[in-house]
Structure 1
């Protein structure tokens, strides 16, 4: 009887769902990001995810759906919205609504290496079977005050078969913003089709988020650095 029970367990279907893309949205919540900027970031992602062009891109994928989680990073990392399957306007609206309300997910200084490994673990440990797996990192620096070195963490992520894209947030408060996209290309992104989108703050940031999501979801060939949208 024990053998029959074991065989039945092995024959049972896995608790996984087919989807085109597993996507971790890894948003900067470090000390350089004010509370109003943090909420603007969330609102930009909410607006982008519910945009008709983004929904169309999702529905035009091989499986007609994607799985997304929204995480804020700093010294620690916090899941703001857990994994959600998005396959149309209704589920996209549910994801957008979930972004409105949770407290700040992370505080402190920069721990980019730790954030990348945290995102990798979210993908590796979920029960979702995605055709593509992507970490979408956003930030305004390559500073790394705590945790493992960025390049070491990036290489571990890539060894897991996960692609890293990035959104370089250009800030007038930082003297080195003009080289941020190039540093993200050299130190953070990697994997098949990896790219960096560069954008300033305000409305151009919101447009960059939408553009980046469409590129990631559609999987179209993209230059390593996408044109500046400032």
Structure 2
């Protein structure tokens, strides 16, 4: 058959007109870790510049603590995945540290340095429900932990966004544990008059799920001690039964 024949031309044209079939890329395998830990940090207006700096330094110091490194190494897999974001109004959350595998002193130091360099910004309102909703959407991004934990730290009661009870219920339904770190301000603001004590509020309205607990920092100067103890307890493979509420002092 000649190339220029009608039959040949028809075969070529049909081949060119055939649709291109694209096969989907294989799904990326999730990397197993002992725990997926989301750290949610309050940067509402009640947290001044000095207090915000104490928070960031506290988280960085926690990942430089040899006891935390030892705790990670003691897990079945010897590695955890951590991400950190700041939160304020119901629609304001800023991811500062994307999911990071921590499997020893070097990777923990890398995370601490990322916190040292992270921007410090302050917003207005306090939306714990917004923080819960945002945190719940962060799981399943490259890592698969035997436990999924959200660690919410803050110094005020939610005053923006949907009811906290609804957001917490939705998160618990996904198998997420909600822990809390309540910072008791030694100089209460005028707008806190008539509100329930913050530690009671976090205990009753924020934390939830198997093994959930609340760490209370008695003032921002106690934050570093509180956050170290809290994360070390959270990453424990088989943590012994502990108190529902722990307190840390400067």
Q: Same fold (TM over 0.5)?
A: yes
1:152-210 deviation line (CA, Å, top 9, x unaligned): 10100101100000001011122679822221111010000000011123442111110
Aligned residues between the structures: 223
**1:38 to partner: Cα distance:** 1.2
Q: Distance in 1 between matches of 2:78 and 2:56?
A: 24
| 1:79 to 1:106, Cα distance in 2 relative to 1, 3 A | farther
From 34, 51, 59, give the equivalent of 1:45: 59
From 116, 131, 134, give the equivalent of 2:149: 134
Structure possessing the higher radius of gyration over alpha carbons: 2
SS of match in other structure, 1:62: coil
| 1:178 to 1:51, Cα distance in 2 relative to 1, 3 A | farther
Q: Distance in 2 between matches of 1:15 and 1:36?
A: 42
The answer to whether residue 203 in structure 2 is matched with residue 185 in structure 1 is yes
The answer to whether residue 170 in structure 2 is matched with residue 150 in structure 1 is no
SS of match in other structure, 1:47: helix
SS of match in other structure, 2:78: coil
Corresponding position of 2:35: 21
- Which piece of structure 1 moves more, 216-225 or 87-96? 216-225
**1:104 to partner: Cα distance:** 2.9
Corresponding position of 2:19: none
1:71-98 deviation line (CA, Å, top 9, x unaligned): 1110111011111000110000000000
| 1:210 to 1:22, Cα distance in 2 relative to 1, 3 A | same
TM-score, reference length from structure 1: 0.89
TM-score, reference length from structure 2: 0.82
- The answer as to whether partners of 1:47 and 1:96 remain within 8 angstroms in 2 is yes
| 1:66 to 1:105, Cα distance in 2 relative to 1, 3 A | farther
